[in-house]
C-alpha cells in the first residue's frame, strides 16, 4: 500500500513538473522572439530601413511553421459571448459514484470520481502537460470557489487517438449536504484561445409537488454595487450528427471537393448561430416559471438567495422537463454579461 502511494505521488509530481516545464518553455520562447523582434526593429531604424507597420512585428512566422494547440472544453461563458444558448449540465464533466453516473443532489462526506474531457481545436499542434484544475462552488452563481486538485494530461491534435483526453479526480464532498457546482479550468502556456478553457457543471433535480421548488445563491464578487437580471430558457444540447455528413454538406458546392478546414469551421459556426442562438428557446406557454426576484441590486460581496418555482399548466403531465436559469450583470449602459447559472430539471411521476 505504501509503495503504491509513493508511486502515485511520484507520477503526480512528474506530471506537474512536465506541465510547468512546457509552460515555462513556451513563455521563454515568446520572450526570446519578442527580444529578437525589438533588436531587429531597432537595427532597421538605425539603418533607416523600412519600418514595420504599427503594432506589427518584424518577424512573421508563416502558419505552416508555427502551430499552436487549443485545449478546450464545453465553456458556457465563451459560448454565450459568441451569442449561443448554453446548458449548465456540462457534457464534458461527469460525476461517478464508483462506476455509476450521478445526477441530482450529492451525498455529504462521500467520495466521488470526477472525469473531465478535454478537446483540442488544433489539427496540427498537440499539447503535452495541459493543466486541469478542478474546483467546486456552493450551488448558485458567482459563489466562492474552493480548489479540489490539479492534474496534467497529454492532449493530441484534433482527429488523433489522443483527442479527446481525460483527467480523472477523486473528490470527497463536504460534510454539509446539498448540491454543488463543479468547475474545470484548463491551462496551457501557448494556448491559441484561452477563452474556452473554463467549464461548469451545475444541475439540480426536484420532484414536482405543485410546483417544483428550487433555491440557489447569487453573490456579487465585485467591489462595487451591481445590478443582476435573471432569465430562464429551455435550451438543450442537440443530438450528435453522424460523423459522415450527408452528400453536399462540408463540401465545396462548385467543385464537390472537401472544404478547407477554416471554411468548414466558419460554416459550422454560422450554422450553430442560426440554430442554437440565445433567445431561440423560450419557456413554452404550457409551463409556468416563477423567479423571485428577477432583478436585484447587490452590495459588494453580498450574497442572496433566488427562488424558482416550475409547474406545468397541464395537471396531467408526467415526465421531466429541463430549464436553464441564467444570471446576467447589467452595466450602466444597459450591457449584459453572463455571470453564472444553473440547470434545473422538474420531474413528475
pTM for the structure as a whole: 0.76
For the ranges 151-155, 216-220, 277-281, the lowest mean pLDDT is seen at: 216-220
**Residue-averaged pLDDT of the chain:** 82
Contact (Cβ atoms closer than 8 angstroms) between residue 69 and residue 125: yes
More confident residue, 266 or 297: 297
Examine the domain organization and report whether 276 and 203 are in the same domain. Answer: no
Half-sphere exposure of 253 (CA within 13 A, CB side): 1
Residue 61 lies in a domain: no
Examine the domain organization and report whether 160 and 266 are in the same domain. Answer: no
More confident residue, 19 or 73: 73
Examine the domain organization and report whether 197 and 276 are in the same domain. Answer: no
Q: What pLDDT is recorded for position 348? A: 83
pLDDT over 60 (residue 54): no
Residue 221 lies in a domain: no
Residue 58 lies in a domain: no
Using the 3D structure, point to which of 207, 231, 248 is the last residue of a domain: 207
Examine the domain organization and report whether 130 and 199 are in the same domain. Answer: yes
More confident residue, 265 or 239: 239
Q: What pLDDT is recorded for position 9? A: 54
Q: Give the long-range contacts of residues 261-270, CB within 8 A, separation 24 or more.
A: 261/123, 269/82
Q: What pLDDT is recorded for position 271? A: 87
Examine the domain organization and report whether 107 and 184 are in the same domain. Answer: yes
Q: What pLDDT is recorded for position 106? A: 81
d(CA 253, CA 64): 27
pLDDT digits (tens, 9 = 90+) for 120-130: 999 889 999 99
Closest CA to 130 of 284, 19, 272: 19
Examine the domain organization and report whether 86 and 169 are in the same domain. Answer: yes
Using the 3D structure, point to which of 207, 229, 249 is the last residue of a domain: 207
Q: In the structure, what pLDDT confidence band is assigned to residue 185 with cuts at 50, 70 and 90?
A: very high
Examine the domain organization and report whether 92 and 159 are in the same domain. Answer: yes
Residue 172 lies in a domain: yes
Q: Which helix (H) or strand (E) holds 341?
A: strand 336-348
Q: What pLDDT is recorded for position 176? A: 77
Residue 229 lies in a domain: no
Examine the domain organization and report whether 274 and 201 are in the same domain. Answer: no
pLDDT digits (tens, 9 = 90+) for 30-52: 656 656 656 665 555 555 555 55
Examine the domain organization and report whether 176 and 83 are in the same domain. Answer: yes
Q: In the structure, what pLDDT confidence band is assigned to residue 116 with cuts at 50, 70 and 90?
A: very high
Q: What are the start-end ranges of the H helices in the chain? A: 2-46, 76-81, 261-275
* Triad 275, 159, 123: Cα angle to 5°: 85
Q: What is the CATH number of the domain that holds 98?
A: 2.60.40.10
Q: What pLDDT is recorded for position 239? A: 86
pLDDT digits (tens, 9 = 90+) for 187-235: 998 899 999 999 999 877 777 777 888 888 899 988 999 999 999 999 9
Residue 293 lies in a domain: yes
DSSP per-residue codes, 123-143? SS--EEEEEEEEEEEESEESP
Strands 203-207 and 336-348, sheet pairing: parallel
d(CA 265, CA 137): 34
Q: Which residues contact 244 (CB under 8 A, 6 or more apart)?
A: none
CB atoms < 10 A from the CB of 257, how many?
8
Q: What pLDDT is recorded for position 67? A: 78
Structurally, the chain folds into a number of domains equal to 2
Q: Which residues contact 4 (CB under 8 A, 6 or more apart)?
A: none
Mean pLDDT for the stretch of residues 116-121: 96
Examine the domain organization and report whether 337 and 271 are in the same domain. Answer: yes
Query: Which residue segment(s) compose the domain that 333 sits in?
Result: 261-348
Mean pLDDT for the stretch of residues 48-64: 52
Examine the domain organization and report whether 94 and 194 are in the same domain. Answer: yes
φ/ψ of residue 185, rounded to 5: -120, 125
Examine the domain organization and report whether 197 and 303 are in the same domain. Answer: no
Residue 266 lies in a domain: yes
Residue 319 lies in a domain: yes
pLDDT digits (tens, 9 = 90+) for 173-183: 888 767 788 99
Contact (Cβ atoms closer than 8 angstroms) between residue 214 and residue 206: yes
Amino acid at each position: 500500500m505504501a509503495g503504491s502511494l509513493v508511486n502515485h505521488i511520484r507520477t503526480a509530481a512528474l506530471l506537474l513538473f512536465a506541465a510547468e516545464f512546457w509552460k515555462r518553455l513556451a513563455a521563454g520562447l515568446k520572450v526570446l522572439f519578442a527580444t529578437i523582434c525589438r533588436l531587429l526593429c531597432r537595427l532597421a531604424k538605425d539603418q533607416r530601413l523600412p519600418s514595420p507597420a504599427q503594432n506589427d512585428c518584424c518577424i512573421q512566422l508563416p502558419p505552416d511553421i508555427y502551430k499552436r494547440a487549443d485545449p478546450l472544453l464545453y465553456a458556457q461563458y465563451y459560448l454565450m459571448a459568441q451569442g449561443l444558448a448554453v446548458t449548465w449540465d456540462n457534457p464534458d464533466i461527469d460525476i461517478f459514484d464508483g462506476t455509476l453516473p450521478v445526477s441530482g443532489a450529492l451525498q455529504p462526506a462521500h467520495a466521488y470520481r470526477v472525469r473531465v474531457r478535454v478537446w483540442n481545436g488544433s489539427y496540427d499542434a498537440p499539447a503535452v502537460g495541459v493543466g486541469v484544475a478542478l474546483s467546486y462552488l456552493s450551488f448558485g452563481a458567482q459563489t466562492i470557489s474552493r480548489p479540489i486538485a490539479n492534474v496534467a494530461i497529454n492532449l493530441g491534435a484534433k482527429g488523433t487517438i489522443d483527442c479527446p483526453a481525460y483527467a480523472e479526480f477523486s473528490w470527497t464532498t463536504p460534510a454539509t449536504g446539498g448540491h454543488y457546482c463543479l468547475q474545470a479550468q484548463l491551462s496551457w502556456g501557448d494556448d491559441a484561445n484561452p477563452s474556452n478553457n473554463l467549464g461548469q457543471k451545475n444541475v439540480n433535480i426536484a420532484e414536482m409537488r405543485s410546483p417544483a421548488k428550487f433555491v440557489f445563491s447569487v453573490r456579487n464578487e465585485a467591489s462595487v454595487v451591481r445590478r443582476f437580471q435573471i432569465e430562464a430558457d429551455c435550451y438543450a444540447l442537440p443530438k450528435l450528427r453522424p460523423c459522415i455528413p450527408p452528400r453536399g454538406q462540408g463540401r465545396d458546392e462548385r467543385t464537390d471537393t472537401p472544404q478547407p478546414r477554416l471554411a468548414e469551421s466558419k460554416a459550422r459556426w454560422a450554422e450553430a448561430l442560426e440554430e442554437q442562438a440565445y433567445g431561440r428557446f423560450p419557456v413554452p406557454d404550457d409551463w409556468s416559471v416563477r423567479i423571485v426576484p428577477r432583478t436585484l441590486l447587490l452590495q459588494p460581496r453580498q450574497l442572496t438567495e433566488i427562488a424558482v418555482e416550475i409547474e406545468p399548466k397541464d395537471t396531467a403531465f408526467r415526465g421531466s422537463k429541463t430549464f436553464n436559469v441564467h444570471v446576467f450583470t447589467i452595466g450602466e449602459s444597459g450591457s449584459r454579461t453572463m455571470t453564472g447559472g444553473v440547470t434545473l430539471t422538474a420531474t413528475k411521476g
